[in-house]
Structure 1
Amino acid sequence: MNTIQRALAVGIGAALLQALMLIAFAWPAAHIAPRDLPIAVSGPQAAMVADKLAEHDPDAFDITNPADEAAARAAIENRDVYGAIITGGGAPRVLIASGASPVVAQQLTAIAQQLSGAPDTPVEDVVAADPDDPRGTAFGAMVLPLVMSGIAAGVVLSLLIPAIGGKVIGLFTFGIAGGLLSIVIIQGWMSVVPGPYLTLAAVAGLVSFAVSGTVVGLAAAIGRAGIGIAALTMLLVGNPFSAATSAPELLPQPWGTIGQFLPPGAAASLLRSVAFFDGAAATKPLVVLIIWALAALALLGIGALRGRRVETSPTPVPAADPVPA
């Protein structure tokens, strides 16, 4: 392949990658809608409200019926539902949790207004987003830098640190330092995420380790192609389907669910649980991140074994030239 052919191939490849990135990032955003979104409906008119919601879109909501308002509040605080509609005693009242998803909170408010026919439907934010970030814009924007920096750290460690032991040291150093520094900026300077600093820093560090470790581990196990595979997985699948700015149930399925099993989606869910819900529903995303971190270490182990086999494989000895008679 000559220079012109190579240049054409690179240009076409870059254009295809650009198109793929546009699809990955724009398609989920263009199809935001409730899909089995967990909400609660309570009170004497709960059945009627549930029927009206089902008539509008039978697949939009996964409706539960708590015994009373206190039970509905508990379900919101435990992250079992995103909000509740309380009937009885006049117009329906709405309980929302903008800390779980400002987008869902807005949608539930609009739905309640439609049900009551009044624009001033009573709304209570049971678990509010940070007052400095009421729309969750900064929260949603912080996931991508964590992913991008993790990829960058993984690439640098893969290319510049040859020893597996050195890669592991670099990963742990990046995870600890990156987690501590990230939350200092997000919480201390920007003041957009509440919650215990050290716990949030540990979460950010685990995310950093999981992302960078995946890059380094795949590169060690299968070669430099692993860098591209890991980076594209995190960027083209993990980030747009992380639901950091919305909710997994608002994204096209099954991608919204798949996104929660990748580090960006698990990171967004775990950070929300720690920051706004005192750790409620934190187990699943925590386990997902730990599995990715352990998988990264396992891949590094495979890379170490691969390197030893190369070192110990016998080098063929060239045949000696025949001695002239």
Structure 2
Amino acid sequence: MSKSRMPLVFGAALALLQALLIVAFAWAPTHTAPRDLPIGVAGPAPAAAQLTEKLRAASPGAFEIKTYADEAAATEAIEDREVYGAIVVTAQGPRLLVASASGPAVSQLLTEAAGRLSGAAPATPVTDVVAASPDDPRGGGFAAMILPLVMSGIAASALLAFQLSGTRARLTALGVFAVGAGLASTLVSVTWLGLLPSSAFWQVAAVVALVSFAVPSVIGGLGAAFGQAGFGAAAAVVFLIGNPFSAAAAAPELLPEPWGAIGQFLPPGAAATLMRSAAYFDWAGAGRPLAVLAAFAVVGAGLVVFAGRRRPAAPERPADDDVLVPAA
């Protein structure tokens, strides 16, 4: 490529990248809607069945409805992260149970759905079974903290892949970064900003440390093993797919299919789900996101070891008869 054309090519590539970023980060929020969102209906069987039919008729395909005998059973299901909320049928009318800690956007959606069912009747009473942090009632701070965790991991992976060499040095740097990030980020997000409850300090620190090991180990390991191509592909997947479809500000069931589900198998989505489970629900529903992040961490460590064992090919030595002997 001639030097005169390089500015044109780079300028066009950057403009295309900008457009791609807008699509990646703006498309999902503009197509948010419930899709088989798990909710509960509790109360006497005939009344619960009637309410279930009304919900399905009013919003086809929006909800995956599970029935419970009473309010206590529905509350337990919410606390176990089986459902995002529940409508309880009582003699005084329906009551709504939500968990804003699962995502304020979901709680608002369920409140609006219950309001449409009540029609002109008095507003449906709402009980927040598991409330979000009072310092972050709308969940904006929680959603915003996931991106820095991933971006710092990508930055660390670049240093890991291209500035350090050797398995021991890379694994040591990963360990120090993970522990330091877990403590420092939790001090900021929990103690100072109050984005998560202070009682969950060590749970949050453990999740942050796991994310801070998993992300740079995989991306940096691929970079160390396969060069810039491996690094760029992994970073692009995590940043362009993982972040927009992490559901950190909502729920996977509110995102376009199948991207909401795919996002849960990438570090940002798994991190957001695991963070909520650890901080608010006593690790309920933590199995899958924990397995995803653990798998990334194990694979990443394996890549680092693999890259450390690769040795550049030694330069070929010329044959004895090819050696030039200077003339006397």
- Could you state the TM-score of these two structures normalised by the residue count of structure 2? 0.94
Structure 1: gaps spanning 5 or more residues: none
**Counterpart check, 1:124 vs 2:110:** no
- Residue identity in the other structure for 2:51: V
**Offset at residue 52 of structure 1 (A):** 1.5
Q: Which residue of 1 aligns with 2:82?
A: 80
SS in structure 1 at match of 2:123: coil
**Offset at residue 161 of structure 1 (A):** 1.2
CA deviation vs aligned residue, 1:151-171 (integer Å, no higher than 9, x gap): 111112222212232111111
**Offset at residue 54 of structure 1 (A):** 1.2
Alignment of 1:196-275 (within 5 A): 196-275=200-279
**Offset at residue 181 of structure 1 (A):** 0.3
Residue 150 of structure 1, aligned match among 150, 153, 162: 153
**Offset at residue 314 of structure 1 (A):** 6.0
8 Å CA contact 2:221–2:301 kept in 1: the answer is yes
**Offset at residue 101 of structure 1 (A):** 1.1
**Counterpart check, 1:289 vs 2:290:** no
Following the alignment from structure 1 to structure 2, what is the Cα–Cα distance between the partners of residues 283 and 62? 21
Following the alignment from structure 1 to structure 2, what is the Cα–Cα distance between the partners of residues 152 and 239? 15
- Residue identity in the other structure for 1:171: L
**Offset at residue 305 of structure 1 (A):** 2.7
Q: Which residue of 1 aligns with 2:37?
A: 37
**Counterpart check, 1:164 vs 2:159:** no
Following the alignment from structure 1 to structure 2, what is the Cα–Cα distance between the partners of residues 246 and 216? 29
Residue 71 of structure 2, aligned match among 61, 69, 72: 69
8 Å CA contact 1:38–1:81 kept in 2: the answer is yes
CA deviation vs aligned residue, 1:204-257 (integer Å, no higher than 9, x gap): 011011111122101111112222112211110011110000000000111100
Residue 184 of structure 2, aligned match among 177, 181, 186: 181
Following the alignment from structure 1 to structure 2, what is the Cα–Cα distance between the partners of residues 52 and 5? 63
8 Å CA contact 1:138–1:192 kept in 2: the answer is yes
8 Å CA contact 1:40–1:65 kept in 2: the answer is yes
SS in structure 1 at match of 2:87: strand
- Residue identity in the other structure for 2:220: V
CA deviation vs aligned residue, 1:64-99 (integer Å, no higher than 9, x gap): 001111110000000000000011313211000000
**Counterpart check, 1:57 vs 2:59:** yes
**Counterpart check, 1:305 vs 2:306:** no
SS in structure 1 at match of 2:127: strand
Q: Which residue of 1 aligns with 2:323?
A: 320
Structure 2: gaps spanning 5 or more residues: none
RMSD: 1.6
**Offset at residue 111 of structure 1 (A):** 0.8
Following the alignment from structure 2 to structure 1, what is the Cα–Cα distance between the partners of residues 182 and 192? 15
**Offset at residue 138 of structure 1 (A):** 0.5
8 Å CA contact 1:167–1:216 kept in 2: the answer is no
CA deviation vs aligned residue, 1:246-283 (integer Å, no higher than 9, x gap): 00000011110010011100100010001111111111
Following the alignment from structure 2 to structure 1, what is the Cα–Cα distance between the partners of residues 203 and 167? 29
Q: Which residue of 2 aligns with 1:108?
A: 110
Following the alignment from structure 2 to structure 1, what is the Cα–Cα distance between the partners of residues 271 and 157? 18
**Offset at residue 321 of structure 1 (A):** 4.5
8 Å CA contact 1:238–1:262 kept in 2: the answer is yes
SS in structure 2 at match of 1:223: helix
- Could you state the TM-score of these two structures normalised by the residue count of structure 1? 0.95
Following the alignment from structure 1 to structure 2, what is the Cα–Cα distance between the partners of residues 156 and 221? 14
